[in-house]
């Protein structure tokens, strides 16, 4: 078998705070891809036969190691994708919670359930593993994204081939090291630096039972098409442009601060970030003013140090440039840039947190996802106008509605066209809470009780009397 020829760049570390390239890793050869497929398929035979309680013990050890190595992992993520160090460490620690949740709750979640039947006998629904899976992960949460895919499936008995983003290879290898140290058997979890062409080969391979992707809408469309062509189950968690509706407030400063802190988390690079703030006209000007106070005078800073009054870089120079183009498109068509929106000098990836109003449908920012620290704020005059604007999106990941009158907020939140809807909370995120969207934000769910249901054989088991 000859090596795949690809124009795809190697997996390489490029520190976004400096633009300086670091360690690089070669793409896998076709021989290595075949070896991974064979090893995953062979390991599945024995792993799925291990009692689920024993698999859960191994996954519990994975959880312990994520916590023990949180500082080490955090430093790696901050170097590779620019996340503020405290957030990187927190992400690694959260992974421990995710693995622990499925190690603890997984056996019960996967237990067979008796269902009523008119037949003479007993009927059950069993939840069984289906085989080797491919996970295609993004760079924005290099550990968390893996955890929410891998944890339930390892407990369930599936095996995993993991293709991470090209910009976070050291994060990918660190997770493989944890799996090995925790006692995950050889072949049960395999990291591979695959090329785009090889990903298509892996999905199409008869030994692969399903594929999960978290990434862009474009990538999701490609993966779903390949999976569909080959009759493979897939789960897609794609982009989002979540509405964050503020109907009223008895403390505008506090409301604006919460909205700002939510938007700036992970330097604005979260799928379910509050990318569209929809605010009642009664408090709009005050709300925007408070955001501007938070955004103005910020300086580029070292994400490993997190000094007060500084901001972290985006994940790459290209990401910063794309965001700048989107904001400049809006400004050129009449939007108002109140603060920030400055693209720093290259090759670093700094883009100053911005506040933007006056967005209209002909602007890219109205329909496109702004994957960075830009607070887009709309003014509305009624609850119905707020709802209409909130639902006027191709995306449907999450959303939030705030009001001093909870019933008023619930009335709107119940009608959001999203996979996740929150009342008086930016987002209720946790290892026990399902995550996923509708419309062009993808399909399928991760985390919580639903997290074990995607890649399992919900088999009918009938025993006649």
Q: Which sequence positions are flagged as catalytic? A: 237, 271
For residues 200 and 224, is the Cβ–Cβ distance under 8 A? no
**CB-based contacts of 24, cutoff 8 Å, min separation 6:** 10, 11, 12, 13, 169
Phi-psi group of 343: left, alpha or beta (phi > 0 → left; psi -120 to 50 → alpha; rest → beta) = beta
Order the strands of the 243-246 sheet from edge to edge: 336-339, 354-357, 374-380, 276-280, 243-246, 398-402, 420-423
CA distance 26 to 36: 16
Q: Which two tokens stand for residue 77?
A: 């993520």
Concatenated DSSP letters of 150-174: HHHHHHHT-EEEEE--TT-HHHHHH
CA distance 389 to 101: 37
**Widest CA span of the chain, in angstroms?**
76
Residue 25 backbone phi and psi in degrees, to 5: -135, 135
Report which of 390, 370, 181, 445 is spatially closest to residue 279, judged by C-alpha positions.
390
Positive or negative: CA dihedral 323, 320, 258, 293: negative
Q: Residue ranges of the alpha helices (H) in 333-405?
A: 364-367, 383-391
Residue 40 backbone phi and psi in degrees, to 5: -65, -45
**CB-based contacts of 180, cutoff 8 Å, min separation 6:** none
């Amino acid at each position: 078998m000859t090596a795949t020829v690809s124009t795809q760049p190697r997996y390489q570390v490029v520190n976004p705070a400096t633009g300086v390239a670091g360690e690089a890793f070669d793409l896998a050869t076709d021989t290595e891809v075949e070896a991974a497929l064979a090893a995953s398929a062979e390991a599945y035979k024995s792993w799925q036969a291990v009692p689920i309680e024993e698999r859960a013990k191994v996954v519990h050890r994975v959880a312990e190691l994520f916590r023990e190595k949180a500082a080490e992992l955090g430093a790696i993520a901050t170097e590779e994708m620019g996340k503020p160090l405290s957030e990187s460490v927190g992400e690694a620690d959260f992974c421990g919670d995710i693995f622990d949740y499925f190690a603890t709750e997984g056996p019960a979640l996967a237990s067979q359930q008796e269902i009523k039947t008119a037949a003479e006998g007993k009927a059950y629904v069993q939840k069984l593993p289906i085989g080797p899976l491919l996970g295609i992960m993004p760079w924005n949460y290099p550990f968390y994204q893996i955890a929410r895919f891998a944890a339930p499936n390892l407990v369930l008995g599936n095996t995993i081939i993991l293709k991470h983003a090209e910009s976070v290879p050291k994060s990918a290898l660190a997770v493989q090291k944890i799996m090995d140290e925790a006692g995950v058997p050889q072949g049960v979890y395999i990291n591979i630096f695959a090329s785009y062409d090889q990903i298509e080969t892996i999905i199409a391979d008869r030994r692969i039972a399903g594929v999960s992707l978290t990434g862009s809408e474009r990538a999701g469309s490609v993966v779903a098409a390949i999976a569909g062509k080959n009759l493979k189950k897939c789960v897609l968690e794609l982009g989002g442009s979540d509405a964050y509706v503020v109907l009223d407030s008895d403390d505008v400063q506090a409301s604006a601060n919460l909205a700002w802190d939510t938007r700036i988390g992970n330097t604005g690079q979260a799928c379910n970030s509050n990318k569209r703030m929809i605010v009642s006209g009664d408090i709009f000007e005050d709300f925007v003013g408070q955001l501007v106070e938070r955004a103005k005078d910020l300086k580029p800073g070292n994400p490993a140090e997190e000094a007060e009054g500084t901001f972290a870089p985006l994940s790459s120079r290209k990401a910063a440039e794309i965001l700048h183009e989107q904001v400049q498109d809006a400004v050129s068509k009449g939007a108002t840039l109140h603060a920030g929106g400055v693209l720093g000098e290259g090759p670093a990836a700094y883009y100053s947190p911005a506040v933007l109003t006056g967005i209209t449908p002909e602007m890219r920012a109205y329909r496109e996802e702004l994957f960075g620290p830009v607070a887009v704020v709309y003014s509305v005059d009624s609850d119905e106008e707020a709802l209409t604007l909130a639902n006027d999106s191709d995306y449907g990941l999450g959303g939030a509605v705030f009001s001093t009158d909870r019933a008023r907020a619930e009335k709107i939140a119940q009608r959001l066209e999203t996979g996740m809807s929150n009342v008086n909370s930016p987002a209720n995120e946790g290892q026990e809470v399902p995550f996923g969207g509708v419309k062009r934000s993808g399909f399928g769910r991760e985390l919580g009780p639903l997290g074990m249901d995607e890649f399992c054989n919900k088999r009918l088991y009938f025993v006649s009397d």
